[in-house]
Amino acid sequence: MKLIKVETHGFKSFADPVTLRFDGGVVGVVGPNGSGKSNINDAIKWVLGEQSSKELRGDNMQDVIFSGSKIVPAMNKASVKLTFEDPQEGVVTIERVIQRGKGLNQYFMNNKPALHSQIKALAMQSGIGKSSLAIISQGTVSEIAQSSDEQRRGIFEEAAGVSKYKTRKEEAIKKLEKSEGSLKNINTSINELERQLEPLRKQAEKAIKYRDKSRELKEIEIGYLAHEIERLSALSEELNANLEGVQETKESYENDIEEITKKIDRKKIESNELNNEINKLAGVEMALNQTINNLERSFDLENQRLQMIARGELNVDPEQRKKAIFNQIEQLTHQINYYQDIKNDLESKLEESKTFISQKNALLNERRAKFESLNKRKISYETQLRLLKEKQSKRTNLFKGTRTILENKSNFRGFKGIVADLIEVESKYSVAIETILSNALQHIVVDNSDTAVKAINFLKANNGGRATFIPLTSIKEKGIRDDYLLVLRSQPGFVGIASDLVKTKPEFAKLAQFLLGNVIVVDKVDLADKISVLLERKYMVVSMEGDIVRPGGVMVGGVQQESEELLGLDRKIQEMENELPGINSQMSAIQTEIENLATERNQKEHYFREYSSKISANNVLLENANAALEEAKVQASSLGESVQNVGKEAKVNDALEDLNKAKRNLSVTQFDLSAKRSTKATLDDEINALDRSRNDLYKNLKALNNSYRSKIEEANRASSTLAVHKERLSEFYKLTLEFARENFPLQISVEAAGEIIADIRSEIAELGNVNLESIEQLEEVESRYNKLTADRDELVEAKNAVIEAIAELDKIIITRLTNVVHDINLEFNNVFSSMFGGGSAKVEFVDPKNVLESGISIFAQPPGKSIKNLKLFSGGEKSLIAISLLFAILKARPLPLCILDEVEAALDESNVVRFAEYLQQLKHQTQFIVITHRHGTMTRVDHLFGATMQKRGVTSFFTVKIEDAKKLIEEAPEA
């Protein structure tokens, strides 16, 4: 491979692009010290893959980028490109680029990105790699001259090309050491695993049994949990519903107690107020009685005196006797008028009370009748509601087979429900739809025929009755022809297609079409027959009242018998539950009104009795006064006086007026007092009655609270068990109820499942502590054990292979190194003789029996001198001997390219000439680039490049004539 061109830009002092072309032979590069001529050597080393910045005379790799000068700024990128000519490959280029700051090296081969390893391989393959003899500097010569025998061995190894074998051997030795270390570690691990395996096997055996039992438990427990969750959920709902009812009753009792307490408090306040008024009136009555007693005593004494005078029992003159009789008549007349006024007043009040009582009784009868009507309605609703709820919960109106499947629906994961539960109908269409569907309302909807078959077998096995099943995957939608629909829509009284009058979930739309899609609903039976004729008797037509015209013309109708309702059961229950509170509210208001009316009537009845009693007493007094008056009139007649003259002759006694006034006031007071006492007595009776009612409510509330607590405890137990089951299903088994119900149907009775679950749990408990991870741990340990034993076997095999490879590499190294020393020895003597003008030289192993580690000594005998070791020669002689050895190596193992960087610097002029002339002998096998400043070399190269710094810090190259070369190197670099 021949180097034909070097291109560089930005590398070290090459701020300007530099291109050097080579035609082979010996090319010299000259220039003053500091001109940067040796940078071409560094550039070639760098592009060939040099990684050490010290080898490139820098601190770090970015130092190869031009750092700038006073007149030229620093550059950010450096690149070097070599172009080779290969007889087989043709032109080959390799390039390396580095950018400042990024520190990233880029390699290119034939202008395509390449790896460092590819560049290195190409360089090693061609013999011009950085570690070969292709680049020789003055330092290389010094190393050969000054190094020990052992150190000098390296150059022979390079010449023998055993570096790659040594590298392979070193890698093999490292691999061997690593293998031995790995073997040691593996054996340690295997021993440790062997100690773990036996206890793990025992643990895993127990864990496997636990796992199998757990799986067995899972298979049955999940179905059991799903069944129990549904049962307990239904029970909880029922209990909660009952609790709501109890709570409502409890609240009703509490509200009634509160209302009664308020009534009692109000009536007690009213009773206290009446008692205060009664006490006041009693005081007034007492005072009036005292006044009347005093007046009556005076009046009686005077009246007795007058009567005695009138009867002649007292001796008085006739005038006095006449005056006494007239006074008596006057008194009696006033009394009679007084009693008559009281009678009239009492009779008026009696009639008023009678009218009031009659009105209140009529109103009471009306309100009681209304209350009784509402109460009957309430009892009817409550009875119906209880029956409906009983039907809803117990499904008493279902066929035995349907009821059996519903009670065991958790056993059938494809169960969807009965038709009645899957469709919704407005109340106005319910009669028509119920008539159409009839018994089909109890048909059981399932997902497919497999579920239906399974359910039928279940009914047979458990004597569960018969049932009809509708598999959703088997049915087909039904409908009415489009032309018939056009006819229908134009008919008055057409209500709709039955399937359009119901609501379902989307998944059951097909069911509605299957059952009702070809049935027509109209308002009246006569229209039903007419439409049936129009549609050629092909479809069922049903009236809103439930009359049917079947396909073919058969008609069914009349009064609908009461049926066991299925459709709209929830709606009916809801309607009644919504109406009951309103009825209760009306009844409560009417009851309050009745109580108030009764109180008012009772009070008036008491007044009525008081008035009647007082009228009777007053009539007696009136009769006595009239009799006395007649007697007084007779006495007056005996005296020859007319009664008409009484008023003229007698004066009304003021005392009598006072007495009558006091009596009237007393009568009014006593009446008020009696009325208020009667009212108070009535109030007290009402208070006692209310208190008794409240006590009864307290007793009922206490009993209800006991029942409430009992139901709460039962609900809590159900809720607690339900929560445990749900947690077990969701947290332990990580399953939803729907998935468990569909995929783990319970195939046996709940009781049997519970016993099996208890037995399995007992067996699991007997296992004690179980390490479930031991199964995986055992698998893992066994896997690791098997892998480690396999790895150990592989390592032993690989170790033996490495030992064999090392032995083979040793053979190659010994052979190649022995051969190269022999070949170099032959050439070395000839080159030495040429360079020294005679004499002899040789190289030999220090320890021929240990070629792999032996150092290599150099012995030389210049003309006229004795043979001696290289160490004993002078500096110039050492350099010439070292150069002779290098030339011998190049002759024995020619390289396509060799760069010599001032290697002859230590030679005297005559030896420089010999050096340069010998290069001419070698140029036919090796292309030389000689960096020099020696005249003897410059005059004997085939082509000469000059390096200079026309700009400070920037190297440039140009072709130099031989006669100008000496002048060039003597010039100092320009500023």
Known binding positions: 32-39
Helices 138-146 & 149-160 angle (0-180, nearest 10): 130
The terminus-to-terminus CA distance of the chain in angstroms comes to 40
Give the DSSP letter of residue 75: -
From the list 659, 643, 655, 661, the residue with the least C-alpha distance to 329 is 643
Q: How many helices (H) and strands (E) does the chain have?
A: 23, 25
| The pair of three-digit structure tokens given for residue 536, joined into one six-digit string | 């050629």
d(CA 573, CA 393): 12
d(CA 229, CA 227): 6
Q: Are strands 26-30 and 77-86 parallel, antiparallel or unpaired?
A: unpaired
Residue 793 CB burial class (10 angstroms; 0-12, 13-18, ≥19) = exposed
d(CA 680, CA 451): 78
| The pair of three-digit structure tokens given for residue 609, joined into one six-digit string | 């009795």
SS3 359: helix
Q: Are strands 540-543 and 555-556 parallel, antiparallel or unpaired?
A: unpaired
Give the DSSP letter of residue 682: H
Please count the residues of the chain.
Answer: 975
Element (H, E) at 961: none
In 728-844, where does DSSP find H-type helix? 737-743, 750-766, 773-836
Distances (CA, A) of 648 to 330, 571, 628, 651: 11, 94, 20, 8
From the list 140, 131, 111, the residue with the least C-alpha distance to 48 is 131
Binding residues for ATP: 32-39
Element (H, E) at 474: none
Residue 737 CB burial class (10 angstroms; 0-12, 13-18, ≥19) = middle
Residue labelled with tokens 């032993």: 796
Distances (CA, A) of 815 to 98, 427, 810, 852: 42, 112, 8, 10
| The pair of three-digit structure tokens given for residue 504, joined into one six-digit string | 């379902």
d(CA 425, CA 826): 119
Q: Is residue 28 a contact partner of residue 943, using CB atoms and an 8 Å limit?
A: yes
d(CA 256, CA 693): 10
SS3 142: helix
Task: Using alpha carbons only, give the angle 117, 118, 120 rounded to the nearest 5 degrees.
Answer: 60
Distances (CA, A) of 54 to 47, 58, 59, 100: 15, 5, 6, 18
Distances (CA, A) of 32 to 76, 470, 805, 904, 937: 27, 110, 52, 16, 15
Q: Are strands 18-21 and 26-30 parallel, antiparallel or unpaired?
A: unpaired
d(CA 756, CA 221): 9
Distances (CA, A) of 145 to 155, 880, 932, 934: 12, 9, 20, 21
Ordered DSSP codes for 375-442: HHHHHHHHHHHHHHHHHHHH-TTS-HHHHHHHHTGGG-TTEEEEHHHH-EE-HHHHHHHHHHHGGGGG
